[in-house]
Amino acid sequence: MSIFERYLTLWVALCIVAGVALGHVMPGVFGTIAAAEIAKVNLPVAVLIWAMIVPMLLKIDFTSLGKVREHWRGVGVTLFINWAVKPFSMALLGSFFVGHVFAPFLPSSQIPSYVAGLILLAAAPCTAMVFVWSNLCEGEPHYTLSQVALNDVIMVFLFAPLVGLLLGVASITVPWGTLLLSVLLYIVVPVVVAQVWRASLLRAGAFDRTLRVLQPVSLVALLATLVLLFGFQGEQIVRQPVVIAILAVPILIQVYLNAGLAYWLSRRFGVGWCVAAPAALIGASNFFELAVAAAISLFGLDSGAALATVVGVLVEVPVMLSVVRIVKATRGWYEAGADSRSPAMEARR
């Protein structure tokens, strides 16, 4: 691991501070960048996400994608966490902490909106950033790609009714343009570009050399994305620090709860660590781009719901980096338990 990767948490913290500071002192510049969007998908951020994930997608050989069937237990664990646990656990945590424990410290008129924003955040599994987390923890890339693609398909059909159920409303207006464009920008286009480029590099005999050159690009793009995202929200963060700290509590608990549950279930069912690590990360992370867009569409730009989804952006990267560190540090413990529960071991008993 390079010095740059070893101190990634420090660089992330510095970029968050820089983004908030720059957004506060140069709101006009960041406002102009934020306005460069289609269907509420910010195009500069989309380009940076491409720079994050294309180098990782280059490593994937689609001719062996069928091997993901070997990891069906890991896929099942992640689907269970993403769709049967995470949205409901966030609804409970948000109602408990925001609606009761910290209610005296919050504007009462905004409390239902804050809870709604937290639910929107948890109802959409992450689409793009998980490629970064999976790469950092040496996760199985075919599993990660397949799991993300499957979540995207399910999200098209399940996001609206699930959120509608949890918000207790008869119907909900989903920003379909945002959802479909995000899938196109963050999955379809990068996959196509990466595979065309991979074939070209292999023919030219330049594949390994190019990967070495591109290795730091993903992390640099991640840091640049952080500066932009926190620059966009700098005013909000500076103006309402207490509210943001309160909203971060259920988000933090939810991330560690769902990551831990996915990791434990994977170990219980004998899932290989290279799948369990990204399974924990996919189970815990959120598609905050869609959540922010949905909150603005449903409740308005200055609503508590929009602010709650912004807090999701605030905690996403540092918290997910901590989950990466935890799963890597516990690999020995995990493999000792998972091996004893593997199908091969069970058959010999």
- The CA distance from 48 to 310, in Å, is 19
- The CA distance from 313 to 317, in Å, is 7
Number of H helices and E strands in the chain, helices first, is 20, 2
Burial class (CB in 10 A: 0-12, 13-18, 19+), 11: middle
| Amino acid residing at 190 | P
If one counts the domains in the chain, the total is 1
Largest CA distance in the chain: 67
**Does 119 fall in a domain?**
yes
Q: Could you tell me the two tokens for 124?
A: 């959409």
Closest CA to 197 of 46, 62, 49: 62
**Does 208 fall in a domain?**
yes
Whether the CA torsion 246, 249, 250, 255 is positive or negative: it is positive
pLDDT score of 65: 60
- The CA distance from 177 to 68, in Å, is 30
- The CA distance from 7 to 18, in Å, is 17
- The CA distance from 218 to 197, in Å, is 16
**Does 232 fall in a domain?**
yes
Burial class (CB in 10 A: 0-12, 13-18, 19+), 90: buried
Closest CA to 286 of 261, 260, 249, 311: 311
Find how far residue 115's CA is from the centre of its chain: 19
* Residue 85 belongs to domain with CATH number: 1.20.1530.20
**Does 348 fall in a domain?**
no
Which residue range(s) make up the domain with 210? 3-341
Closest CA to 57 of 184, 226, 197: 197
Question: Can you list the positions of beta strands (E) in 52-169?
Answer: none
Strands 41-42 and 37-38: antiparallel
The DSSP letter of residue 286 is B
pLDDT tens track, the chain, 349 positions:
556 666 667 887 888 889 888 988 888 888 888 888 776 677 888 888 788 778 877 877 766 666 667 788 888 999 999 999 999 999 899 989 998 999 999 888 888 889 988 998 898 887 667 888 888 888 888 888 888 878 877 877 787 788 878 876 534 455 666 667 766 777 678 878 888 998 999 999 998 889 888 878 877 887 888 788 778 877 777 777 888 899 999 999 999 999 999 999 999 998 999 999 999 999 888 877 677 767 766 776 667 887 888 788 778 778 888 999 999 999 999 988 765 555 544 333 3
**Does 347 fall in a domain?**
no
